[in-house]
Structure 1
Amino acid sequence: MRRFTFFPLIFLFLVFSSCIGFVTETWKPPSTIYESMIVRVYLGKPDTELKVTTNGIFQVFDVNDLMIKKNIDILQLNPFSLKARIRIVPESGIFSYNGSRYRGEISIEPTSNGPIVLNLVPLEKYLLAVVPSEMPNSWPEEALKAQAICARTYVIREMLNKVNQTYDVDVSTTSQVYGGVDKEHPRTTKAVEETEGTLMLYGNEPIHAFFHSNAGGMTEKPENVWGGKSLPYLDHIESEYDKYAPNYSWNDKIKFSDADRLFEKEGVGKIESILVLGRNLSQRVELVEIIGEKGSRKIKGPDFRKIVGNTKLKSLKFGIKKEADGFFMKGLGNGHGVGLSQWGAHGMAEDNFNYRKILKHYYPGMELANMVR
């Protein structure tokens, strides 16, 4: 999950409604997404030969929703030959594409950059494959419920922000991981079903429900990661249970030859030193200076992490020193650090905190609400 944009949103917020799961507020989606609550998931760009299968039969509809093929069990076509969108509807509600099975429908849409493949899936069915893709299904029930509500709130916000765009989310950590039917598990399905329709609001709007693996003891403000405005419900929050996680601390090394390659575009020549110049309240690095034989360059912490790579530089809570064969890094946490720490939620759940207390800890000031249609 990464950066966000702000759009003016108008919502109807109803109070003193039915109580479901101890949540008394209700929220009605605006007309832009009210009718269907269908998530448009970007599955990628197809090859010249596209194949879709199902355990049963398909119906195929054109851009005007007129049926153009019926009762077929395999669809093979050249997507680059399409002049307009087609929608493929499996009778079983499940289709196979590119080695994975998905719920809902598949849409192939021509764009100026070539055809794209979308999965059109009802919101709650979408979550069945997101929660186990983002959090181990063996984790405590209350942590899984917290994850389900985070995932639901996140995607609803994306749906509202991207009404006039081609799709809402993709299948990767750029949005939230969506592994399809084969990732589903009874324990995570139970967490989704028992929190059905529950989301987080602030100021009558769904919040930006960012989450990450491990905060390293304290979460981060979004403006320090992606820029933009601060959000009152995303602050520096202590996350004490992170320290019990297997990924709380880490170390890695940038070889000298790799450093020269990674920072080649900075134009400072052979890298001689890398220095941390500043940290914020959460002790994450704000500014780095790289010193080379031809000069030096200052780089913002988030940009430095992008250059080095998120796999090697697991978080911005790190120190770095020069050694005989490269630059040794040692740090805490895993991920951008904004919002819910998944390992923090795991620890809280094991210590008998319920999902409501977990979420209110990581998103202070937010309110839980039930979505009504």
Structure 2
Amino acid sequence: MNFAKSIAILLFIIFGFNCRTMVVSTWAHPDSAREFSKVRVLLGQGTEEEIFKTDSTIEVLDANDLIIKKAYEILSINPTSLKAPIRLTANGSYIEYKGAKYRGEIQLKPVDGKVFIINVVPMEQYLFSVVPSEVPASWPKEALKAQAVCARTYVVREMLSRKKQVYDVDTTTNTQVYKGMTKENPNTTHAVEDTAGLILVFNGSPIQSFFHSNSGGVTEDPINVWGNPVQYLASVRSDYDKEGDNYSWEDKLTGTQMNQFLSPLGLGEIQDLIVASRFNSSRVNEIDIIGTKSSKRIKATELRKLLGASKLKSTRFGIRREPDGTFFVKGLGSGHGVGLSQWGSYAMAKESIDYKDILSYYYKGVDFARMSQN
């Protein structure tokens, strides 16, 4: 074991095990009328023709659960003509939509001139797909369990905040990545089953269990990202992140690319980018953009949106303009940096650190609770 890893383990022992969590008996949803065991996942919006497939029979039911149509293996439907919600169920093991197979049922809901296509799936089965979509299924089992608890807590929190909306989550990184049954893996399925119903709570409520790929050595305080402080998401050292293949990175953008990316700012041709201030985590707070028409100081989070996450993987970076007019960027970490670092969790799990200890390191002062289903 090298010196850096020894220091990382020592820091974890000092700062992690001193704040071990406890398992609380149960957490029950405050709205007993809401079925909380199923997740509503937005798959897309309906067009004039949508095709659904299965390995048996698809039944179409109206709002009163009356069967209005049956189809064997393939169903073609025009959602734009719907005036009321319908739902699709299959006698087989899945419903296929746009090449992906989904558990549960499909609902088509017309709202304000649009038709939302929604997969309604039992929560634990939803997680069967989410966990391997977010992290490699080959990772150590304690890291997979940590991700399962994070993902479950995250969707519960989304369900609480979106209870009056048509859906709870979508299939992208805007919420959590969800790719249906084709992404499922026995390793991650076991991780979900081993932690069944387990979520993280703070003062009795499910937490905002934010996670990201790699913190670059230190997680970020959410007040520096979204403007709101969250006690249990305080910044922590994460030296284990050095194990990650995206711990450090660099990239180059041509002058033409930079002009194109930053054209919405209306500054003319970009002459330079200068870091104006940094947070304690060393992530950039504000950056000055110098153009031929004018200059502007913006937040690094805004710059990341303009350049894209593939070019500016995190806001822990440095940038300079080269003599040839290109812009050289070098940084640490990947993602917003708040909450659990997935690569940090991976390396901790490799050192046989329990998933509860991993979670209690990144989320300070939280408890574990078992969900009570309706």
TM-score calculated relative to the size of structure 1: 0.91
Equivalent-residue separation in structure 2 for 1:159 and 1:131 (angstroms): 18
TM superposition shift of 1:224? 1.5
* Kept after mapping to 2: 8 A contact 1:237/1:362: yes
- Secondary structure in structure 2 of the residue aligned to 1:115: strand
CA change 1:296–1:354 in 2 (3 A) is same
Does residue 1:274 correspond to 2:260, yes or no?
A: no
Counterpart amino acid of residue 371 in structure 2: M
TM superposition shift of 1:30? 2.5
Equivalent-residue separation in structure 1 for 2:192 and 2:182 (angstroms): 16
RMSD: 1.5
- Secondary structure in structure 1 of the residue aligned to 2:297: strand
Equivalent-residue separation in structure 1 for 2:307 and 2:42 (angstroms): 27
- Secondary structure in structure 2 of the residue aligned to 1:303: helix
- Between 1 and 2, higher relative CO (CA 8 Å, sep ≥ 6) is seen in 2
Equivalent-residue separation in structure 2 for 1:287 and 1:35 (angstroms): 44
CA change 1:333–1:36 in 2 (3 A) is closer
Equivalent-residue separation in structure 1 for 2:211 and 2:264 (angstroms): 32
**Aligned counterpart, 2:193:** 193
TM-score calculated relative to the size of structure 2: 0.91
Counterpart amino acid of residue 37 in structure 2: M
**Aligned counterpart, 1:107:** 107
**Aligned counterpart, 2:81:** 81
**Aligned counterpart, 2:25:** 25
Equivalent-residue separation in structure 1 for 2:71 and 2:131 (angstroms): 33
What 5-or-longer segments of structure 2 have no aligned partner?
1-21
* Kept after mapping to 2: 8 A contact 1:93/1:105: no
Give the count of matched residue pairs: 352
**Aligned counterpart, 2:59:** 59
Equivalent-residue separation in structure 2 for 1:178 and 1:146 (angstroms): 17
**Aligned counterpart, 1:251:** 250
Counterpart amino acid of residue 358 in structure 2: I
Does residue 1:170 correspond to 2:170, yes or no?
A: yes
CA offsets 1:124-173 (integer angstroms, 9 cap, x no match): 11000000000100000000000000000000010111110010000000
Equivalent-residue separation in structure 2 for 1:359 and 1:232 (angstroms): 15
TM superposition shift of 1:301? 1.1
* Kept after mapping to 1: 8 A contact 2:55/2:93: no
* Kept after mapping to 2: 8 A contact 1:37/1:122: yes
- Secondary structure in structure 2 of the residue aligned to 1:233: helix
Q: Which moved more, 1:128-137 or 1:65-74?
A: 65-74
TM superposition shift of 1:35? 3.1
After TM superposition, which residue ranges in structure 1, 4 or more long, deviate above 6 angstroms? Answer: none
CA offsets 1:187-229 (integer angstroms, 9 cap, x no match): 00000000000000001100001111000001112222122x2
**Aligned counterpart, 1:5:** none
Counterpart amino acid of residue 301 in structure 1: A
* Kept after mapping to 2: 8 A contact 1:32/1:160: no
CA offsets 1:237-278 (integer angstroms, 9 cap, x no match): 111100121110000112111111222222221111100001
Counterpart amino acid of residue 208 in structure 2: H
**Aligned counterpart, 1:369:** 369
Equivalent-residue separation in structure 1 for 2:33 and 2:364 (angstroms): 27
Does residue 1:319 correspond to 2:280, yes or no?
A: no
* Kept after mapping to 2: 8 A contact 1:252/1:328: yes
* Kept after mapping to 2: 8 A contact 1:33/1:160: no
Counterpart amino acid of residue 51 in structure 1: I
Q: Which moved more, 1:24-33 or 1:272-281?
A: 24-33
Matches within 5 A, 1:64-213: 64-70=64-70, 72-213=72-213
CA change 1:354–1:106 in 2 (3 A) is same
Equivalent-residue separation in structure 2 for 1:34 and 1:270 (angstroms): 54
Counterpart amino acid of residue 187 in structure 1: N
TM superposition shift of 1:31? 2.6
Counterpart amino acid of residue 223 in structure 1: I
* Kept after mapping to 2: 8 A contact 1:36/1:122: no
TM superposition shift of 1:73? 3.2
* Kept after mapping to 2: 8 A contact 1:211/1:341: yes
CA change 1:113–1:255 in 2 (3 A) is farther
**Aligned counterpart, 1:304:** 303
